[in-house]
Amino acid sequence: MTRYLTKSRFKLALECSTKLYYQSHKEYVDSKLDNEFLKALARGGFQVGELAKCYYPQGVMIEERDHDIARQQTEELLRGDCVIFEAAFRFENLFIRADIVVKAGNTIRLIEVKAKSFNPDTETFMNIKGTEIMAGWKSYLYDVAFQKHVIQKAYPECRVTAVLMLVDKSKNVSVDGLNQKFLVRENGKGRNITTTVGDVSIAALGSQIVNEFDVDDIVNSILTDSKFKDNPAYSFTEWIQIYSDAYLNDIRIWDQLKSECGKCEFNTDVKDDPSQRSGFHECWEHHAAFNEDDFLEPSILTLYNFKKKTEFIQARKYFQKDVSRVDLEPKVLKPNSSDGLSIIDRQEVQIQKSKDKDASPYVDIGGLRAAMSEWKYPLHFIDFETTAVAIPFNKGLRPYEQVAFQFSHHVMQKDGTVDHRGEWLNDRVGAFPNFDFVRALKAELREDGTIFRYASHENTILNAIYWQLKASSEPDKEVLCDWIKTITKSSNKSNEQWEGSRNMVDLLELVKKYYYHPATRGSNSIKAVLPAILSTSPYLQEMYGKPIYGTTMKSLNFRDRAWFQWDDEGHIINPYELLDPVFQGISPTLLDSFFMPEESDVQDGGTAMIAYAQMQFTLMTDTERQFIRKALLQYCELDTLAMVMVVQEWRRVIGSVISNR
């Protein structure tokens, strides 16, 4: 059987040449979840793709999955003028499926459809000088260039032109319910089946929000440059040939070590299963002569916010113990503008603890005590689940406007009493939830007290909804806008500037300033901080090792739950792994890590986004819908409970210091 180098494999090889080998050998454990159905849901790709096809009603879909048969069907259609969806092209062992191909006379127009947005009024594919592709567009343009190369080689007698068809953020939707015209389901064979609902004629679609952008000149420059800028040893087309030969002949190309190795999906501990292999370990054994002990040594790959990782790796400085304060400092020193740890201070704390093999947390008692003295009880902990859909719910909205579909709310009293006070979830199909979301949140937070969020996302969302309300005809919009301003701070780019009297406190910023736990390995994600703080807090272990949550401690979604548990090897189980999976057999932490929408700034919300998209855009039974609703409510509740646990431990630490004086 021929080993075909497809566009996805070529993209992987550009990312790291060695991964091309690991991906084709199943004995290498791949932690990146390969589920095209969930990926399409998370990124809105299936809807955008189907909407794009509607603008070519004469198009013919190549349904056949067999490479050779699909190519033969494509070839037959290309004997005349045609429009083809999923056209198949092969040259030697290069194989692609093109989203849309339009043939007219001797010209083949390659149209690559992406769910990524583009605003022609404010964005460009190239830098101001026109000499470099903007970083965010490289992978898309390289993808198109690879496809054009294959088609041109397969049909040398034709002129091939390249187009990106993108979501146009300069356009407003002019009809309601557009995103509900495209529903999707799996056919059980790894393929997505999209069902169109109602009238999907061009006239019924309203203003066109998925538009074509000519990238042929840029693609030609990629294909004709003598040296490929990302890897100048060879040209782009020479790299295609190198990867093609390597994949065909099952040859491993040893790529260089770099900072991106820290996120390698082929990195796993395989001691318990000798039949499995770790590509990450083999790379570092090959290049850096690592032994088993070296892999246990804290490396610079996990050093917080360190910008010189690749530089240090090239100098064969692999470990945190090799980094000094001078290495951390930039050429131009800036004064620390606030109290607490600066970025460099935090890096130095991490390095020193790794040198000392000190697993205890760093706590700035004075800084925390000063911050906590400003808090007003009861304390409110809130978390939002949001998404940004490519095709808006209602007319007048633009693509990828923020959609807030869920929140959770915990309350802590001064005596330490905690209860899960409230929650809200929109499960109405096709409804734009933002304004009802704010009304419900306002009702939840009517009691005075300090409000906490984790990271800037909640502030960003409420700012976005503020401007949506301003442009709306909601009868209570002024009341809601005024309230939003009381608990938020305006964006620096906003035409209006404000900081509310009850502006939310960012718990993440307090973590960055006053707290570091070695078990987080440099991460400040709440999903890393929670199991870390549990691992060294006898107080939390005692409290949450008992099934009190949902009994003596009020919960809206759990009963008799113990959040502190050990696994069979004596390690703390991340509480998020104790949740029932939203998608059977797939952990929420894996979904959070890999399936983020194109337009999202959220770092840990992938599971909720995909689950919400499934409720909105797939055909499902009431039983399935209720299962997902329950999972979403539990997932969001744990997010705010995690914030509570952090504050509970800090209160204990500060209290013990005060009581010991």
Residue 610 three-state SS: helix
Percent of the chain predicted with pLDDT > 70: 91
Name the token pair of 661: 């004086």
587 band by pLDDT with thresholds 50, 70 and 90? low
Position 598 scores a pLDDT of 45
Position 18 scores a pLDDT of 98
What span, in angstroms and rounded, lies between the C-alpha atoms of 420 and 429?
Answer: 27
Residues 6+ apart with CB under 8 A from 156: none
Output DSSP code: residue 499.
B
Q: How many CB atoms lie within 10 A of CB 32?
A: 16
Residue 453 confidence (pLDDT) above 90? yes
- Please report, in angstroms and rounded to a whole number, the separation of the first and last CA atoms in the chain: 76
What span, in angstroms and rounded, lies between the C-alpha atoms of 596 and 584?
Answer: 19
Q: What is the mean pLDDT of residues 313-332?
A: 87
What Cα–Cα distance (Å) separates residue 59 from each residue in 53, 77, 506?
7, 11, 51
pLDDT in tens, 605-644: 677 888 888 888 887 788 888 988 999 999 999 999 999 9
Which one-letter amino acid corresponds to residue 551? T
What span, in angstroms and rounded, lies between the C-alpha atoms of 162 and 141?
Answer: 10
Position 272 scores a pLDDT of 62
Closest to 249 in 3D by CA, of 3, 422, 471: 3
Q: How many CB atoms lie within 10 A of CB 499?
A: 10
- Select the more confidently predicted residue: 351 or 193: 351
Residue 311 confidence (pLDDT) above 80? yes
Q: What is the mean pLDDT of residues 181-206?
A: 79
Q: At what angle do helices 434-444 and 477-487 cross, to 10 degrees?
A: 60
Helix (H) or strand (E) holding 245: helix 236-248
Q: φ and ψ at 534, to 5 degrees?
A: -65, -35
Position 658 scores a pLDDT of 44
336 band by pLDDT with thresholds 50, 70 and 90? low
pLDDT in tens, 476-485: 999 999 999 9
Burial label for 426, CB within 10 Å (0-12, 13-18, 19+), is: buried
What span, in angstroms and rounded, lies between the C-alpha atoms of 174 and 382?
Answer: 34
Output DSSP code: residue 619.
-
What span, in angstroms and rounded, lies between the C-alpha atoms of 408 and 547?
Answer: 21
Mean predicted lDDT score pLDDT of the chain: 90
Across-strand partners of 117? Answer: 167
3-state secondary structure 426-462: CCCCCCCCHHHHHHHHHHHCCCCCCEEECCCHHHHHH
What Cα–Cα distance (Å) separates residue 455 from each residue in 295, 344, 448, 527?
32, 20, 22, 13
Q: What is the mean pLDDT of residues 482-491?
A: 97
What span, in angstroms and rounded, lies between the C-alpha atoms of 509 and 453?
Answer: 10
ω into 378 cis (within 30 of 0): yes
Residue 229 three-state SS: coil
